[in-house]
């Protein structure tokens, strides 16, 4: 079992028989991922051996990097599946409403207006889904933080719900919806009114 005791420097020097000396100095850096660069600079400037947490905890650092890579891959696949879902919904919508689109085109609605209509629909689908997802995610996190506590009643770990994270998520979801809607919208805009009305 390991224990840590905090005492004054002179007391520790006296206890360990190191008058005027120290064995280890810990340095805190602003950017934890720059620790290895700082350690190399200390070694080159002073000649003192400096080991970063990255070097001493190589396995942990590798695991953190692997987790970040897997998170990126998961996000990419989620974005792709969302885009495919929106595109499939709009393709079905174009097929089901082709007669209505043909009537609108025969009444003078331009291709640009039809294109814009489906792009807006795709963007709104992405935005609406993101709003629901953000609300469910934030609500679940807050409920979990309220229900799961340490033995002393404090939170297991702090949860920081940054407003900017929600803004970026909503913007990306809307852009994904617009991108996914482009092909179905183009198909709808290119429908021939005569063929669409005739079925």
pLDDT digits (tens, 9 = 90+) for 87-107: 888 888 888 888 888 888 888
**Per-residue pLDDT band at 132 (split at 50, 70, 90):** very high
Whether 3 is in a domain gets the answer no
Write down the pLDDT at residue 54: 80
Whether 92 is in a domain gets the answer yes
Write out the DSSP string of 39-77.
Answer: HHHHHHHH------HHHHTHHHHHHHHHHHHHHHHHHHH
Whether 18 is in a domain gets the answer yes
Whether 38 is in a domain gets the answer yes
Whether 144 is in a domain gets the answer yes
Q: What is the count of structural domains for the chain?
A: 2
Same domain, yes or no, for 124 and 41?
no
Same domain, yes or no, for 19 and 46?
yes
pLDDT digits (tens, 9 = 90+) for 8-50: 888 888 888 888 788 877 888 888 878 888 888 888 888 888 8
Write down the pLDDT at residue 131: 93
Same domain, yes or no, for 98 and 170?
yes
Same domain, yes or no, for 40 and 129?
no
Whether 62 is in a domain gets the answer no
CA distance 45 to 39: 10
pLDDT digits (tens, 9 = 90+) for 173-197: 899 888 888 888 888 888 887 777 7
Same domain, yes or no, for 77 and 44?
no
Using an 8 Å Cβ cutoff, are 181 and 86 in contact?
A: yes
Range of the domain at 143: 73-198
Kindly report the pTM of this predicted structure.
0.62
Whether 68 is in a domain gets the answer no
Whether 186 is in a domain gets the answer yes
| CA neighbor of 101 nearest in space, from 186, 179, 41 | 186
Same domain, yes or no, for 186 and 134?
yes
CA distance 182 to 188: 10
Same domain, yes or no, for 82 and 26?
no
């Amino acid at each position: 079992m390991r224990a840590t005791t905090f005492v004054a420097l002179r007391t520790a020097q006296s206890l360990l028989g190191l008058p005027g000396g120290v064995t280890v100095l810990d340095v805190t850096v602003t950017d934890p991922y720059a620790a290895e660069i700082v350690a190399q600079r200390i070694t080159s400037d002073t000649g003192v051996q400096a080991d970063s947490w990255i070097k001493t905890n190589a396995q942990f650092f590798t695991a953190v990097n692997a987790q970040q890579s897997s998170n990126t891959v998961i996000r990419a696949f989620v974005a792709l599946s969302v885009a495919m879902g929106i595109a499939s919904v709009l393709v079905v919508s174009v097929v089901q409403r082709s007669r209505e689109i043909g009537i609108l085109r025969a009444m003078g609605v331009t291709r640009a207006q039809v294109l814009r209509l489906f792009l807006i629909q795709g963007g709104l689908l992405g935005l609406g889904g993101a709003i629901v997802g953000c609300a469910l995610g934030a609500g679940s996190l807050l409920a979990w933080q309220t229900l799961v506590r340490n033995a002393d009643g404090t939170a297991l770990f702090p949860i920081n719900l940054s407003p900017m994270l929600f803004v970026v998520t909503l913007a990306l979801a809307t852009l994904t919806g617009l991108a996914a809607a482009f092909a179905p919208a183009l198909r709808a805009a290119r429908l021939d009114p005569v063929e669409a009305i005739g079925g």
